[in-house]
Amino acid sequence: MKIRIATRKSALALWQANHVAAALRELPEVSGTELLPLSTKGDEILDRSLQKIGGKGLFIKELEVAMQNGDADLAVHSMKDVPADMPDGFCLAALLARANHKDALVSASGTQLQDLPLNARIGSSSLRRQAQLRMLRPDLRIEPLRGNVNTRLAKLENGDYDAIILAAAGLERLELDHHISHQFSPAEMLPAAAQGVLGIECLASNTKLRAILGRLSDPISVLTTSAERSIARALKASCQSPVAAFATIDNGTLELTALVAHPDGSQSIRDSISGNAADAAQLGETLAARLIKNGARELLDSIEASHD
C-alpha cells in the first residue's frame, strides 16, 4: 500500500510528515509514501488572532478536505493544535510517543525570564501562555505573535520582542533548540493538552489503514493524551482557551494536573488527581468536574465574552 500524507507547508509540519512517513516505510504493508503539501487558512491569515478567525482548527480543515476527496490518506498533526472533538467521519488512528512537553523561553541574548527588563515585550498569541507568564511576571507586555517557527525567531532577532515563547518540541525537531534560553517546568508553566505528541488522522471508515497506523501508536501517549484532552472536552475549551493539562504515568498510576486561568493572570484554578492509568479519560472528566465546581466554567465564559 502506498500512503499519501496531507501536510501543511511549514518546515515543522513537513518535518512531522516526513517523520511519520519514515516510520510507515518500516512496515511491511507499506510500499511507499508521498507528501501532499497544502496551504491552510490558518497559515494564510496572519494579521488576526486565531481566536478572532476561528481557532487552530483552521490549520486542519484543508487537510481533512483532501482526505474526504480521496487526494490523501492521512494527515499528521501536532496534537496540541487538534480540537478536542473530531469531526464526523474522522478519527485519530495513532498517537506517537511524546516528545518534549515543555514550553520554551527564547530571548535574544539568552536572558532568563526573571532577568528581562521591567515591562519587557514577550511574543505569544497563546492565552494559556499569557496567563501563566503574567502569573510569573505581572509587569510583562505580552504582544501577539503569529507565523511559523522561523518567522517568529526572525521577529525576535529583528528586535520586535525581548523574548518569545515557543514549544520546545518544535524547536528540537527543527534542530533550533540552541535558541532556547529556558525550558519551563510544569510547575512554572503547565503545557497545553497533548503538547509534544504527534497524532495521525484518517477517515474513520478506512479500517485497513487504521489497523496499519495503530501499530505506530505509543500506549503511554494514548493514555496521557486521553486524560489531558478529556479535560478540554469536558470544559468545552478550544485549542486557544487558557486551559492547560499535563499527565504522567508511573507504575500504572496516572497523575494529572490541570489549570484554567484568566489571560491577565488575575485568576487561576489549578487542581490535580491521580488514579489507575487505565481510567485515563474518566480521571480527566472527574478533574474537569472539580474545576467546574470551583468556577472554571464561569471563568472561561467571562474570557470568551471579553474576546468576542
Q: Which domains does the chain have, with CATH numbers?
A: 2-97+196-217 (3.40.190.10), 103-183 (3.40.190.10), 230-307 (3.30.160.40)
Closest CA to 130 of 49, 224, 246, 58: 49
State the catalytic residues: 81
Q: What is the pLDDT of residue 108?
A: 84
DSSP 40-62: -HHHH--SS-HHHHT-GGGGTHH
Residue 112: Cβ-neighbour burial (10 angstroms; 0-12, 13-18, 19+): exposed
Angle (nearest 5°) at CA 243 between 261 and 47: 95
Q: What is the pLDDT of residue 54?
A: 47
Walking along the chain (308 residues) 10 residues at a time, the average pLDDT comes out as 95 97 96 92 51 58 94 96 92 98 94 96 95 96 93 96 97 97 97 97 97 97 98 86 96 98 94 98 98 94 78
Q: Which residues contact 203 (CB under 8 A, 6 or more apart)?
A: 67, 68, 89, 90, 91, 209
pLDDT number for residue 180: 97
- The answer to whether 138 and 267 are in contact (CB under 8 A) is no
The DSSP secondary-structure symbol of 79 reads G
